[in-house]
Amino acid sequence: MVTAEDVILEMNYCPRCAHSLEDRFLFGRMRRVCPSCGFIFFRDPKVAAGVLVEQEGKVLLVRRAVDPKQGWWCIPSGFVEYDEAPEEAALRECKEETGLDVRLTGLLDVYHYQSDFRGSGILIVYRAEVIGGDLHPGDDASETRFFGPDQLPQEIAFASNREALRRWQQRFQ
């Protein structure tokens, strides 16, 4: 079992000059600082982007082929690369995981999560509609399928995904 301590790495050496970092109280909290070049290590949440893709009143889910939550269902999503806009990441992840090309039609919501063993993060969820491609499971997915509001699987990974789907479902009640 992988624990948070295995994964959340502390920065020990300066990425700029390789000197050992020290703990100092700066900008309101303890941070790792380089006494040689002044580099300050600001720890950030991970940023992820996902899409709630609707087609004929159904929503697109992917079954996870990897941990965390292997075998559970989630909306197409993934981490934003450091040089990528969140909108681009959402489109890329959807294509990689489902084979579908989508167009973003709006912002559903922004979620903060702390449950992931890789650290806390922010998930940006867009609404989207299909404009092309062929539905097939790709990277990190074992199955892709559209579900109606009454057919959602029990095993939905991540509180943020459950919340996003609950909001989507409420529109049909």
Q: Where on the chain is the footprint of Zn ion (CB under 5 A)?
A: 14, 16-17, 19, 34, 36-37, 39
Instruction: Judge contact between 34 and 16, C-beta under 8 A.
Output: yes
Q: With b meaning 16 or more CB within 10 Å and e meaning fewer, what string describes 153-170?
A: eeebbbebbebbbeebee
Q: Which of 71, 61, 91 is nearest to 165 (CA)?
A: 61
**Least Å distance between CB 40 and Zn ion?**
10
Give just the sign of the alpha carbon dihedral 96, 86, 67, 144.
negative
> CB of residue 32 vs Zn ion: minimum separation in angstroms?
11
Q: How far is the CB of 20 from Zn ion (least distance, A)?
A: 9
Q: Which of 10, 88, 143, 155 is catalytic?
A: 143
Classify 151 as helix, strand or coil: coil
Phi, psi of 89 (to 5 degrees): -60, -40
Instruction: Indicate if 22 belongs to the active site.
Output: no
Smaller CB separation from Zn ion, 10 or 129:
10
Residues 6+ apart with CB under 8 A from 82: none
Minimum distance, C-beta of residue 18 to Zn ion, in the bound complex (Å): 7
- Asked if 160 and 123 count as a contact pair (C-beta separation under 8 A), the reply is yes
Q: Which residues belong to the active site? A: 143
